[in-house]
């Protein structure tokens, strides 16, 4: 029987971004893609991202996190999920071991370290690190020297539906299209085509963004490996970085998604991007053994 059977999980959300938190510290088990898909198949444990906690790899780190998308693929970053993990660590004494200091945590993913601060009972700030902006770091297939504008469009050449996005890596690849109005774009149709475009060797998160004011961005996101989402923290960070680089906004803005608002700051001192937003616990559950009968 899989070690995941009868494991406790937390079903949470960050602005409606569905998050499932699973603590596997001490088990040594690494979730396989088929197991992640099995967890996502149950309406009670369904997720946009599955945040799996493992033993810390270095002193002073609370946990190493693996992040899975609905399709079982792994992601290097999930800001909304990281806030949910922080809530779990602060709320559960059994989960909170490993070096927590006051109102701060230090988490780690394959993309690097993520410092987190609690600013209110259910609100957290995540240091998402510095954006990677060079074409080979994002990565892109073609050597664009200016990733504020890359040559990509969808639709007729003389009247494209979307064109010339900015490209940013915030732990995962993002393409941000700036538009005058968000209405009229069917991301459920356009998103999969752009996510899997050959220009993105590792696929990409696809966003359409409207700059409503120098400190306000409206955003809709098709998330790599998960699809349409009510919120995506790393996409909100990428949108602010892209808008600031184009001088459409300053270095701080409220980013409004269908699920609510995130406060994003691109810090000048070290180039790190800070994301602040809420979390919500929906329920606690146990993974039924029957879920994994066909997972191999």
Q: Is the peptide bond before 139 cis (omega within 30 degrees of 0)?
A: yes
Task: Spot the catalytic one: 78, 167, 190, 273.
Answer: 78
CB proximity list for 94: less than 8 A, separation 6 or greater: none
CB proximity list for 23: less than 8 A, separation 6 or greater: 8, 52, 53, 88, 95
Rounded Cα gap, residues 94 and 274, in angstroms = 28
Rounded Cα gap, residues 32 and 7, in angstroms = 15
84 is an active site residue: no
Task: Spot the catalytic one: 38, 232, 238, 264.
Answer: 232
Rounded Cα gap, residues 42 and 45, in angstroms = 5
237 is an active site residue: no
Phi, psi of 164 (to 5 degrees): 50, 60
Burial 258-271 (b: 16+ CB within 10 A, else e): bbbbbbbbbeeeee
Using an 8 Å Cβ cutoff, are 107 and 87 in contact?
Answer: no
Using an 8 Å Cβ cutoff, are 175 and 200 in contact?
Answer: yes
Using an 8 Å Cβ cutoff, are 35 and 46 in contact?
Answer: no
Using an 8 Å Cβ cutoff, are 255 and 261 in contact?
Answer: yes
Q: Burial-class residue 120 by CB neighbours within 10 Å (0-12, 13-18, 19+).
A: exposed
Output Rg (C-alpha) for the chain, integer angstroms.
19
Q: Just list the catalytic residues.
A: 78, 232
């Amino acid at each position: 029987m899989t070690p995941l059977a009868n494991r406790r999980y937390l079903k949470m959300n960050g602005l409606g971004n569905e998050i499932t938190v699973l603590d596997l510290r001490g088990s040594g088990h690494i979730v396989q893609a088929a197991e992640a898909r099995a967890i996502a198949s149950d309406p009670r444990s369904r997720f946009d991202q599955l945040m799996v906690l493992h033993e810390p790899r270095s002193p002073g780190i609370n946990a190493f996190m693996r992040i899975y998308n609905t399709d079982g693929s792994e992601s290097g970053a999930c800001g909304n999920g990281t806030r949910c993990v922080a809530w779990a660590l602060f709320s559960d004494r059994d989960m909170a071991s490993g070096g927590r200091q006051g109102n701060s945590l230090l988490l780690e993913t394959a993309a690097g370290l993520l410092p987190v601060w609690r600013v209110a009972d259910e609100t957290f700030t995540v240091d998402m690190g510095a954006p990677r902006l060079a074409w080979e770091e994002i990565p892109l297939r073609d050597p664009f020297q200016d990733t504020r504008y890359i040559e990509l469009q969808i639709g007729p050449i003389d009247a494209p539906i979307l064109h010339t996005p900015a490209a940013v890596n915030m732990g995962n690849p993002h393409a941000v299209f700036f538009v005058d109005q968000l209405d009229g774009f069917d991301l459920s149709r356009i998103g999969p085509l752009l996510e899997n475009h050959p220009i993105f060797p590792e696929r990409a998160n696809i966003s359409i963004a409207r700059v409503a004011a120098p400190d306000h961005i409206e955003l809709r996101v098709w998330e790599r490996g998960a699809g349409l989402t009510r919120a995506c923290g790393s996409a909100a960070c990428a949108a602010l970085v892209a808008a600031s680089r184009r001088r459409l906004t300053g270095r701080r803005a409220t980013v409004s998604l269908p699920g609510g608002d995130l406060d994003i700051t691109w810090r000048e001192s070290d180039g790190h991007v800070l994301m602040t937003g809420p979390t919500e616990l929906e329920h606690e559950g146990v993974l039924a053994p029957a879920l994994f009968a066909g997972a191999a």
